[in-house]
Structure 1
């Protein structure tokens, strides 16, 4: 497991596609380069959507944790 500090937690539980990505995109633009946001999601589609969004925007998914009924994404602002 990588060591990083979470600058912000973004609660997207209960939101369906595309809202978790919309909220993540809006939040990460407010953050400094190098900051990490933890996004909480219950949408199974986010397992594909978040990595795809990160790749297309030049950001990095540091870690994804699946728990019963919850997915945690740790995304680092790269640029």
Structure 2
């Protein structure tokens, strides 16, 4: 039986300033399964560097980034948990 993929989860943190977008994303990612994706919508320009650093430090993958009409969109794939 093939596992059914859950849809991409969405976190809207528009209007929130650093460090709240990353903190909210981190909390949400902790409750997700390995490989699931989280799309974060933000308006704080500092979020660009914040999410790059966050992913580099935590092992989550920043798989997409874009901007449309002043709204930043980040797609983060949850890292696998270490075996053991």
Q: Which runs of 4+ in 1 moved over 4 A?
A: none
Q: TM-score, normalised by structure 2?
A: 0.85
**What is the distance in 2 between the residues matched to 1:6 and 1:66?**
21
Structure 2 unaligned blocks of 5 or more: 1-5
**Whose strand fraction is larger, Structure 1's or Structure 2's?**
1
- The count of aligned residue pairs is 75
Q: TM-score, normalised by structure 1?
A: 0.90
Question: Which protein shows a greater Rg?
Answer: 2
Which deviations, in whole Å up to 9, do the C-alpha atoms of 1:10-62 show, x marking residues without a partner? 00000000000000000000000000000000000001000100110010000
Q: Over aligned residue pairs, what C-alpha RMSD do you find?
A: 1.1
Counterpart of 1:21 in structure 2 is: 22
Structure 1 unaligned blocks of 5 or more: none
Evaluate the alpha carbon distance shift between residue 73 and residue 58 of structure 1 in structure 2; reply closer, same or farther with a 3 A threshold. same
**3-state SS of 1:55 partner:** helix
